[in-house]
């Protein structure tokens, strides 16, 4: 997978558009990844100018960044409901189906997003696809004990699973101490059915398929921000 990132000015533009939807007194979910980090930095600027908010981070990395930005953070057990969760995505379809998890925080991102009244996604245009699975594999979080058997069952489903590894060649571990099988299925006509079959495999903790969750997608078009909403 390419490590080349989007233009920082594009990320800043959509981060500022998301920030326009934040008001004092809100509880926010803070996502993980480049777009989310741009939002956290812009949010930190506003907090230092007096904005009163608290954030729940979806990863240890985002938690550390929020603290560096002087953003007050709380744990999920300290809140009953979040007003808004802001995160990125690796693919977005016209019906706002998502693939997430290339940053490795998919499980915590799902938990936080589920607790939010609004789930706002920040992306650059290359993330827009007609069908999920067109440009990236599905990250699948698996308990280490079950990696071998899960690999076999994912292959039987038609996937091509690969253990995600760090630069040192050792398996990548999530903040939950699980492993990730990046599994290519190709463009999917029925992602919900694929998701259900993956989840039926013992040892699978979560998948990167986020379906019927996003309420708004902000796209960094050249010099502008495009808004995509889910059609009900």
Catalytic residue set = 109
> What would the DSSP string read from start to end of 12-34?
HHHHHHHHTT--TT-EEEE--SH
Neighbours of 194 (CB within 10 A): 21
| End-to-end Cα separation, the chain, in angstroms | 34
CB-based contacts of 115: which residues, under 8 Å, 6+ apart?
29, 56, 76, 79, 81, 82, 85
Whose tokens are 């990132």? That residue is 5
d(CA 94, CA 229): 9
d(CA 19, CA 128): 22
Query: How do beta strands 91-92 and 98-99 pair?
Result: antiparallel
């Amino acid at each position: 997978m390419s490590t080349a990132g989007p233009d920082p000015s594009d990320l800043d533009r959509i981060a500022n558009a998301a920030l326009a939807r934040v008001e004092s007194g809100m509880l926010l979910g803070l996502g993980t990844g480049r777009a989310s980090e741009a939002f956290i930095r812009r949010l930190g600027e506003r907090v230092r100018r007096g904005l009163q908010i608290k954030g729940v981070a979806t990863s240890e990395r985002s938690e550390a960044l929020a603290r560096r930005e002087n953003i007050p953070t709380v744990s999920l057990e300290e809140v009953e409901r979040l007003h808004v969760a802001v995160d990125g995505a690796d693919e977005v379809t016209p019906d706002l189906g998502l693939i997430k998890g290339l940053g490795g925080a998919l499980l915590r991102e799902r938990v936080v997003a589920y607790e939010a009244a609004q789930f706002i996604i920040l992306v650059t245009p290359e993330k827009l696809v007609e069908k999920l699975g067109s440009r990236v594999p599905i990250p699948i979080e698996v308990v280490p004990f079950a990696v071998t058997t899960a690999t076999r069952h994912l292959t039987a489903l038609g996937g091509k699973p690969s253990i995600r590894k760090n630069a040192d060649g050792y398996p990548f571990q999530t903040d939950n101490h699980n492993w990730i099988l990046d599994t290519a299925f190709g463009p999917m006509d029925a992602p919900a059915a694929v998701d259900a079959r993956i989840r039926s495999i013992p040892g699978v903790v979560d998948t990167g398929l986020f379906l019927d969750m996003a309420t708004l997608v902000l796209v960094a078009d050249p010099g502008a921000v495009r808004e995509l909403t889910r059609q009900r």
